[in-house]
A and B are shown apart, each in its own frame.
Chain A
Amino acid sequence: MEMPKVDPFILSRKDELVARLLTVLPDDGVIHADEELRAYECDALTAYRCPPLAAVLPRSTAEVSAVLKICHEMEIPVVPRGSGTSLAGGALPTADSVILGVARLTDVLETDYDDRIIRVQTGRTNLSVTGAVEADGFFYAPDPSSQLACAIAGNIAMNSGGAHCLKYGVTTNNLLGVTLVQMDGTVVEIGGGHMDAAGLDLLGVICGSEGQLGIVTEATLRILPKPEGARPVLIGFDSNEVAGACVADIIKAGILPVAIEFMDQIIIRITEDYAKAGYPDCEALLIVEVEGSEDEIDEQLALIKDIARRHNPVELRESGSEAESAAIWLGRKSAFGATGRVADYMCLDGTIPVSELPRVLRGIGDLSDKYGLRVGNVFHAGDGNMHPLIMYDANKPGDLELVEEMGAEILKLCVEVGGCLTGEHGVGIEKRDLMSHQFNPGDMEAQMRVKDVFDPKWLLNPGKVFPLASIAERGA
């Protein structure tokens, strides 16, 4: 993976940089020893590694601003980092960059149930936001599968989704306000505890900008009352096409499940070997979950079961208890871990129109044959966000390159049928060079103009999102 050229002049100023950082941060907030910097050399895209020049762990917005001012003056690139769980290399450093980690910004600043908001520092983990309000019957809706570890800062940077987006939306739909520190140290407040910030929707463009427009240190998030209950039904089919048709029929029938998850036979078998969830051995499996009171759940599930029966399922299993619900979810929730047990894998993230599901699954099957690599499919079927897992052996020379080539072909197929390269993981470095398959130069130019305004020197999170050739003239 090509990264921006390292600037030897910046490398030569490391001592000066560290000395200046230590004037605005305590000793334990500046990491500069080579062995300690190894901890920041990659995120969850572990195939690419590069230790940064230094790392800082500020404890306040003022400290973030002071650090950025110094880096801005010295024209040193800054790579923001939440918890380092990005699958797209969103927090991959360059050798001449400073990692700015928000891990020490973890406070809850305000909770207001009447206004249905929580304001937090953004180093706080996704799950612990819900943790702060769940005793009072509330939750924070976006639930990426890394939610135990991932930070709100990273969720905002990548506009993270989760399994329940069909009903509750993704991060951008649950974000009301931010404190943003620009690269030159300027602190701006956007939005707040009210709905719909004034003026241009800067909040909307900051969310999902992959840390390239500023560092979000505080966020006001919408919290929701917990539903009375939830219950899944598991439906097995003997073909992917039929499962796809069943999804479309459920949606057309006017039911809005909170989740519709899809697993194909490869994933069913891998997870069953590991988790022993008792899944049927079939071609395709859906988990459909609905919410409400017991009676409301019955009402919705009755409709869903009727629709499913019209598609001749090989299995139709409704949960009758908490334990049975957990068993239905067990395999799905273990899918990634179980796959990791049998092979190295690359997890893709393209989204497609739901109607194209059968065609894309066939296309992925063809590519799997062509490249001789196994692919399992487990994804959010309700919103078309696919997660093909391409399995390989990281120790076999040439395999990673082969996987990347095949992954690119799958993503191009997603774009070709009217979808996109990434539904919730972000572009990062991983999909950067595919951007020109989805956008023409004018489309990308419009996006880059926004970066020009927020970060005229192009110092924030270098080498991500845009193909390097397209940004050659920027930031000069």
Chain B
Amino acid sequence: MLTPGTEDELAEILRGANGPLSVRGGGTRHVPGAGEPLTTSGLRGITLYEPGALTLVAQAGTPMAEIEAALEAEGQRLPFEPMDHRGLTGREGTPTIGGAVALNASGSRRVQAGACRDSLIGVRFVDGSGTIVKNGGRVMKNVTGYDLVKLLAGSRGSLGVLTEVAFKVLPAAATQATLRLSGLPVAEAVRAMSAGLTSPFEVTAAAHDGQAGETLLRIEGMEGSVAYRTVELGHVLGDFGGAEVLDADASAAAWLRIRDAVPVAGAGDIWRVHCRPSQAAALVEAAAADAALLDWGGGLVWLRVPAGTDLRAALPAFDGHATRVTGTGPDALPPEPAALAALTSGIRDRFDPRGLFAGV
């Protein structure tokens, strides 16, 4: 396993490479492409953390746990609530911050606080020609030059190997509560979540667990504010049957399960479908899945289907896309229309002229 300890070492390895590389952080999230294994785990450590500026910069191979612990000590957090994929993929290993960026992995708070890429304000990476590139920086408002920060987020390692990532972080909430509705059919659950998310009461997560038959809406903030909004949100949800209130501890435990998609874990292939919330119910029905979990108010649908199922073929036309997260069924990534595919391959060719990351 190639384990560069510095950015310069990594650049040297990439310049000298003459075949495909299989790049990973902790290897917990997706199957890296074929090739000589290379890990960023040697690029480790928080480079800069300024709580008063809401800014954290870390080397890409830094374990997520290390970052979360440092933030927690200052009463702050990553806004996008990164999920831990290990429960779904069954892989061992240590989730890294760079891996979360490479996959643009965002948890339940994405619906309110944005995706991983929305908090990401700077990157350093080494491209396929071995050139070190920086983009963005450590300030949260920056429009200097093209935004390659976003381009790298979610690029799954296809354009280069991340070495350093910078984030805008947020104060952690003093407390939280969750309203739980029971027994709603999917379409009703989506309507309830939309009602919450279109209220002024700042719902920070909304999910529906098809197995448990429960619909959850979370509120976070200062004590008095959470108490007030819990009552108000309860009124908003009045049409959907009585809501039970989960206190801070129960709420935190419930959302850990949702964040990591625990309710759909099991034998079979797991897919994630991004769609308009208003289309979610129709997709769930068409999929006839063994398990379904709606997050992001219905904008993200997790589905577990029998191994090898071509889920895309089963779904009606919709505004969004479907990705296979586990299993060995059809192509994992959604197909692209020709004009988009041309842009994608053009960019990949220029950032990776020798195809070092072609297996991604």
Chain A residues at the B interface, C-beta cutoff of 8 Å: 112-117, 137-138, 158-159, 161, 165-166, 169-170, 172-173, 182, 186-190, 192-205, 207-209, 225-228, 247-249, 251-256, 292-293, 295-296, 299-300, 351-355, 380, 383-385, 418-427, 431, 435, 438-439, 442-447, 449-454, 465
Contact = CB atoms under 8 A, between A and B. Distances in A.
Contacts of B75: 254
Contact of B137 (A253, A418, A447, A452): A418
A196 B144 CA distance: 23
A442 B133 contact: yes
Contacts of B141: 161, 165, 170, 351, 380, 383-385, 423-424
B132 interface: yes
Contact of B139 (A296, A418, A425, A451): A418
Interface in B159-216: 159, 170-172, 174, 190-191, 194, 197-200, 202
Contacts of A351: 139-142
A385 B134 CA distance: 20
Contacts of A254: 75-76, 171-172, 174
Interface residues of B, number: 87
A422 B148 CA distance: 16
Interface in B133-161: 133-135, 137-151, 153-155, 158-159
Interface stretch (B90-98, B107-115, B241-249, B256-264): B107-115
Nearest to B120: A204
Interface stretch (B36-44, B222-230, B303-311): B222-230
Given A114-B198, A204-B153, A352-B139, A195 B148 contact: no
Contact of A226 (B106, B172, B200, B296): B200
Given A201-B151, A299-B222, A420-B137, A255 B143 contact: no
B115 A450 contact: no
Contacts of B197: 116, 225
B142 A423 contact: yes
A180 B116 CA distance: 24
Interface stretch (B14-22, B24-32, B61-69, B273-281): B273-281
A188 B200 contact: no
Nearest to A297: B225
Contacts, number: 267
Given A190-B340, A208-B143, A435-B144, 4 more contacts: A112-B278, A172-B118, A293-B232, A296-B222
A207 B143 CA distance: 9
A114 B191 CA distance: 8
A198 B274 contact: yes
Contacts of A419: 137, 139
Contact of A172 (B150, B198, B346): B150
27 contacts: A114-B198, A114-B277, A115-B299, A116-B197, A116-B198, A169-B114, A188-B343, A192-B320, A195-B111, A195-B299, A195-B300, A196-B115, A199-B333, A200-B155, A201-B150, A201-B153, A248-B52, A353-B139, A354-B52, A355-B53, A384-B53, A384-B140, A384-B141, A418-B137, A418-B139, A445-B131, A446-B148
Contact of B200 (A192, A228, A380, A465): A228
B51 interface: yes
A205 B194 contact: no
A303 to B, nearest CB: 8
Nearest to B75: A254
B143 A452 contact: no
B239 interface: no
Contact of A189 (B172, B337, B347, B348): B337
B337 A200 contact: no
Given A201-B154, A202-B340, A446 B115 contact: no
A195 B115 contact: yes
Given A201-B153, A384-B139, A256 B171 contact: yes
A195 B143 contact: no
Closest 10 CB pairs of A and B: A204-B150, A248-B52, A254-B171, A453-B346, A423-B141, A198-B321, A194-B320, A449-B350, A447-B146, A351-B139
A173 B131 contact: no
A248 B337 CA distance: 47
A195 B274 contact: yes
B347 A450 contact: yes
A256 B320 CA distance: 32
Contacts of A418: 137-139
A109 to B, nearest CB: 13
A200 B343 CA distance: 9
A313 to B, nearest CB: 18
A249 B106 CA distance: 29
B140 A383 contact: yes
Given A299-B222, A300-B222, A194 B299 contact: yes
